[in-house]
């Protein structure tokens, strides 16, 4: 039987599908759900442009970190910046836009229409025994790639959210708002746990409790109540995510192969680095497959957290797919 494999997917994985990297965050187009939201967004962007002119060598994460620590910067409270970031990352990609309201686009039941992602999942699901997925991403691209339930077509095993209670029933909206396609609720019935270390744009709050949605509406309502860890330099796990982090640690510890795509293990992600280092030295890990266009530059970071493990350096997506196929179990 093939060895168990954990996938570790970062911002570079979502970038291939068209989402911005952190350094380009405020240069992206985004959905504006209301006039009031637009006023808040414009205030944040004005503050960002002024800050950037004074700090030309730094980027959005440094700006957001400073604002987060201060809680308010001039006329801009932190909550406005968090709302804008969520809106940018939740804005439907061009292939997800339809005749319905944009905030309901890119829902979890729709497969990803991205050729490079489809090719990646085809290799991962057919050539590796994927046991878990760990990600720092907020979006729904992984869920839509592995699907919300097992699918024979494409050999997709489906996911559920690791670290959260089950059953996991997601609220939806009839599309295109007709009785013919209600789908107002679905249950995640997959076999692969997906650990979202920084939360998710489809996780909202309702009466103080976490509520899961099929779409990204939490990013656009009530001033943005998507439950995500702020995209600041010093990211830590909040109490409500501790079970997710612990589940991720256990999953990584139990796998002998880690397939890493688009996550460079940045030095400022100290909490995640520590989690990965504990799992990499205390578990069954024997090799790390690193898919990254800058694999040779970041290899030393991965070797540092798993010093006795063999590294395989591959190009990023899609260039590295052929080598990944040949390297499989």
Residue 100 confidence (pLDDT):
58
- Give the angle subtended at the CA of 216 by the CAs of 201 and 7, to the nearest 5°: 50
Of 32-46, 68-82, 176-190, the range with the highest mean pLDDT is: 32-46
Proportion of the chain above pLDDT 70, given as a percent = 93
- Higher per-residue pLDDT: 95 or 289: 289
Query: Taking 70 as the threshold, does the pLDDT of residue 104 lie above it?
Result: yes
Query: Taking 80 as the threshold, does the pLDDT of residue 94 lie above it?
Result: no
Phi first, then psi, for residue 287 (nearest 5°) are -155, 150
Residue 317 confidence (pLDDT):
94
Query: Taking 70 as the threshold, does the pLDDT of residue 182 lie above it?
Result: no
DSSP H helices in 139-241:
141-146
Proportion of the chain above pLDDT 90, given as a percent = 69
Residue 264: cis peptide before it, omega within 30 degrees of 0: no
CATH of domain 4-19+106-198+235-327: 3.40.50.1220
- What single string gives the DSSP state of each residue in 253-305? HH-SEEEEES----TT-HHHHHHHHHHHHHS---EEEEE-TTHHHHHHHHHHH
pLDDT (tens digit, 9 = 90+) per residue, 148-158? 999 988 899 99
Residue 318: cis peptide before it, omega within 30 degrees of 0: yes
**Do 261 and 291 form a contact (C-beta atoms < 8 A)?**
yes
Residue 199 confidence (pLDDT):
95
- What single string gives the DSSP state of each residue in 198-220? TEETTEEEETTEEEEBSSSGGGT
Beta bridge mates, 135? 9, 196
The distance of Cα 188 from the centroid of its chain, to the nearest Å, equals 17
Instruction: Tell me the pLDDT band of 183, cut-offs 50, 70 and 90.
Output: low
Q: What is the rounded distance in angstroms from the CA atom of residue 312 to the CA atom of residue 324?
A: 10
């Amino acid at each position: 039987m093939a060895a168990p494999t954990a996938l570790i997917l970062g911002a570079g994985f979502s970038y291939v599908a068209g989402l911005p990297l952190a350094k380009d965050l405020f240069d992206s187009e985004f959905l504006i759900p209301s006039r009031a939201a637009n006023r808040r967004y414009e205030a944040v962007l004005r503050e960002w442009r002024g800050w950037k002119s004074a700090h030309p060598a730094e980027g959005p994460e440094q700006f957001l970190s400073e604002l987060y620590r201060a809680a308010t910067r001039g006329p801009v409270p932190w909550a406005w910046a968090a709302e804008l970031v969520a809106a940018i990352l939740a804005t439907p990609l061009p292939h997800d836009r339809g005749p319905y309201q944009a905030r309901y686009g890119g829902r979890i039941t729709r497969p990803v229409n991205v050729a490079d992602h489809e090719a990646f999942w085809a290799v991962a699901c057919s050539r590796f025994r994927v046991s878990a997925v760990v990600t720092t991403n907020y979006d729904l691209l992984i869920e839509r790639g592995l699907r919300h339930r097992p699918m024979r077509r494409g050999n997709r095993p489906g996911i559920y959210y690791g670290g959260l209670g089950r059953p996991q029933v997601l609220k939806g909206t009839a599309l295109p708002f007709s009785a013919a396609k209600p789908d107002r609720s679905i249950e995640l019935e997959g076999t692969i746990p997906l650990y979202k270390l920084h939360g998710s744009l489809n996780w909202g709050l309702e009466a103080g409790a976490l509520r899961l949605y099929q779409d990204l509406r939490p990013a656009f309502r009530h001033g943005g109540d998507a439950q995500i860890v702020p995209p600041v330099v010093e990211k830590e796990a909040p109490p409500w995510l501790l079970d997710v982090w612990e589940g991720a640690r256990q999953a990584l510890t139990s796998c002998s192969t880690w397939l890493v795509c688009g996550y460079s293990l940045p030095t400022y992600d100290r909490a995640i680095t520590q989690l990965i280092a504990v799992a990499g030295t205390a578990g069954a890990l024997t090799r790390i497959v690193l898919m990254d266009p800058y694999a040779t530059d970041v290899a030393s970071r991965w070797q540092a957290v798993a010093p006795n493990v063999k590294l395989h350096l591959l190009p990023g997506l899609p260039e590295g797919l052929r080598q990944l196929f040949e390297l499989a179990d």
